[in-house]
C-alpha cells in the first residue's frame, strides 16, 4: 500500500493507493481535541455540570462525571480556572462540550495526567505484547499519571518510549503553567501516520483532480461497488445507517456467491467512506443477508481487518439478532458534509 499525505493551507488529506481516505478542511472554528484554559462561570447542580468560559460568546458545557472510573479531577467552584479539552465543537446553538480528563497525544502513547488508568491499544491482540506494554506503561507512569500505549509502541525501543514520556510530562507541566500546546491537523496526521508508513509528504500542493473527484463523490448518498452493487449512507441524529445492496450485480446466478462478494466489496468501501466522511458514534450496517455462518464470519473478519488502517479508534461489535452489523467509532471532527470541498 502506498500512502501519501497532502498538507497545504486549505486542507490536510491522506490518500492510500490513490484513494482519498481522509480530508480535513482547515477551519479555525474547529478546535476539537484542543486543550484550552477555561474559567468556571457557574455550577449547575441539577445537571451535575458546569458552564465554562473558554473565550467564546457561548459558554461551553462541562460534565462533572467523566466516562473513566479512574478520573481524579475533584470538585469545582465558580471562578476556578482549569485546563479543559474540547470533545465536541459547538453545534445547533449549543456550546462546545468539554472534558477535564485530558489526553495529551504522542506517537507511542497518550498521556492522561488527570487519570491513573494504564491502557493498551485494542489493536494489540497478542497477549504477550499486551502484557509487555502494560508493564512498560506501569513503569513509566509510576502510579502518578495515566497512559495508553499506542500501536506504534510495539516496535519502539525503550529509550524512545522514555524520551516521549518525559516530553509529554513537560507538556503537561507547561499546561499547568498556562502554556497551551499548539497542534494542528498537519502535526496530528504526521504523528499518527509516520509510524504506520508514509511514502510521500506533499506540502503546499493542491489535491490532484482524481482525489477531488472522490471528494465530491463522498457528498453522495449512494456509492457504487466494483461489480454493480452499492452502499447507501444515511447519517441520522443518533447513528449512521449504511445499507448494502446487490443492485445491478447479476454477474453470477449463485445468490450466495453474489451476496458474499458484494458484502466483502462493501467492507472496503465502508472503511474508506467512514474515514473520508469522518463518520462516528454508532454505525449500523445492513448487509445483504447471508445464511451461512462461515460467510458471516468472513465478512466480519474482513471488516475488522479493513479498519486496522483507520487511525481513529473503531470497534466492530458483530452481528445483532436481526442480522445487522454494529460498530462504533470515536468522535473527533465534524462529518465531512459540514464542510465544502475546495474549488477546482
Does a structural domain hold residue 149? no
Low-confidence ranges of the chain (pLDDT < 50): 338-341, 343-344
Count of alpha carbons within 13 angstroms of residue 188, beta-carbon side = 22
Evaluate whether 106 touches 131 at the Cβ level (below 8 Å). no
Structure confidence at residue 338 (pLDDT): 41
Looking at residue 69, what is its pLDDT?
A: 82
Q: Is 232:222 a contact under the CB 8 Å cutoff? A: yes
Q: How far is CA 207 from CA 5, 11, 210, 313, in A?
A: 10, 9, 8, 26
DSSP SS3 for 303: helix
What CATH number does residue 230 fall under?
A: 3.40.630
Asked if residue 321 belongs to a domain, the reply is yes
Place of cell 474559567: 39
Q: Which domain holds residue 45?
A: 35-99
Is residue 29 one of the residues assigned to a domain?
no
pLDDT for 28: 63
Listed residues 49, 74, 99: the one ending a domain? 99
Question: pLDDT tens digits, residue range 309-337?
Answer: 999 989 999 999 999 999 999 887 778 75
* Cβ(287)–Cβ(327) below 8 Å: no
| Per-residue cell: 251 | 454477474
315 is a domain residue? yes
Query: Does residue 222 sit within a domain?
Result: yes
Instruction: Quote the pLDDT of residue 72.
Output: 86
Q: Is residue 25 part of a domain?
A: no
Output the pLDDT for position 77: 92
CATH code of the domain covering residue 55: 2.40.50.140
Looking at the structure of the chain, the number of domains it has is 2
- Answer with the one of 84, 99, 114 that is the final residue of a domain: 99
pTM score: 0.78
pLDDT tens for 282-313 read: 999 999 999 999 999 999 999 999 999 999 98
Distance CA(127)–CA(113), nearest Å, equals: 26
Last residue of a domain, one of 47, 65, 99: 99
> Does residue 158 lie within any of the structural domains?
no
Does 77 map to a domain? yes
Rounded to whole angstroms, how far apart are CA atoms 92 and 291? Answer: 43
Amino acid at each position: 500500500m502506498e500512502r501519501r499525505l497532502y498538507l497545504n493551507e486549505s486542507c490536510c488529506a491522506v490518500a492510500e493507493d490513490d484513494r482519498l481516505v481522509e480530508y480535513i478542511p482547515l477551519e479555525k472554528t474547529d478546535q476539537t481535541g484542543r486543550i484550552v484554559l477555561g474559567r468556571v462561570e457557574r455550577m449547575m447542580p441539577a445537571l451535575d455540570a458546569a458552564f465554562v468560559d473558554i473565550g467564546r460568546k457561548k459558554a461551553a458545557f462541562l460534565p462533572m462525571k467523566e466516562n473513566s472510573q479512574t478520573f481524579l479531577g475533584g470538585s469545582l467552584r465558580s471562578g476556578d480556572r482549569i485546563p479543559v479539552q474540547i470533545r465536541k465543537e459547538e453545534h445547533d446553538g449549543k456550546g462546545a462540550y468539554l472534558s477535564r480528563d485530558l489526553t495529551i497525544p504522542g506517537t507511542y502513547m497518550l498521556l492522561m495526567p488527570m487519570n491513573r488508568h494504564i491502557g493498551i491499544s485494542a489493536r494489540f491482540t497478542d497477549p504477550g505484547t499486551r502484557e509487555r506494554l502494560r508493564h512498560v506503561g506501569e513503569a513509566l507512569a509510576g502510579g502518578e499519571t495515566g497512559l495508553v500505549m499506542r500501536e506504534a509502541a510495539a516496535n519502539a525501543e525503550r529509550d524512545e518510549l522514555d524520551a516521549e514520556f518525559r516530553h509529554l510530562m513537560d507538556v503537561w507541566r507547561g499546561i499547568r503553567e498556562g502554556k497551551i500546546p499548539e497542534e494542528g491537523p498537519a502535526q496530528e496526521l504526521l504523528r499518527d501516520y509516520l509510524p504506520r508508513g508514509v511514502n510521500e509528504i506533499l506540502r503546499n500542493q493542491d489535491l490532484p483532480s482524481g482525489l477531488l473527484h472522490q471528494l465530491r463523490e463522498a457528498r453522495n448518498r449512494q456509492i457504487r461497488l466494483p461489480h454493480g452493487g452499492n452502499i447507501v449512507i444515511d447519517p441520522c441524529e443518533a447513528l449512521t445507517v449504511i445499507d448494502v445492496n446487490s443492485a445491478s450485480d447479476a454477474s453470477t446466478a449463485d445468490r450466495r456467491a453474489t451476496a458474499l462478494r458484494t458484502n466483502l466489496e462493501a467492507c472496503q468501501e465502508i472503511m474508506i467512506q467512514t474515514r473520508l466522511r469522518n463518520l462516528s458514534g454508532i454505525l449500523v450496517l445492513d448487509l445483504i443477508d447471508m445464511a451461512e455462518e462461515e460467510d458471516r464470519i468472513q465478512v466480519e473478519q474482513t471488516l475488522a481487518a479493513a479498519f486496522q488502517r483507520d487511525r481513529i479508534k473503531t470497534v466492530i461489535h458483530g452481528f445483532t439478532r436481526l442480522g445487522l452489523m454494529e460498530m462504533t467509532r470515536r468522535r473527533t471532527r465534524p462529518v465531512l458534509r459540514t464542510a465544502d470541498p475546495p474549488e477546482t
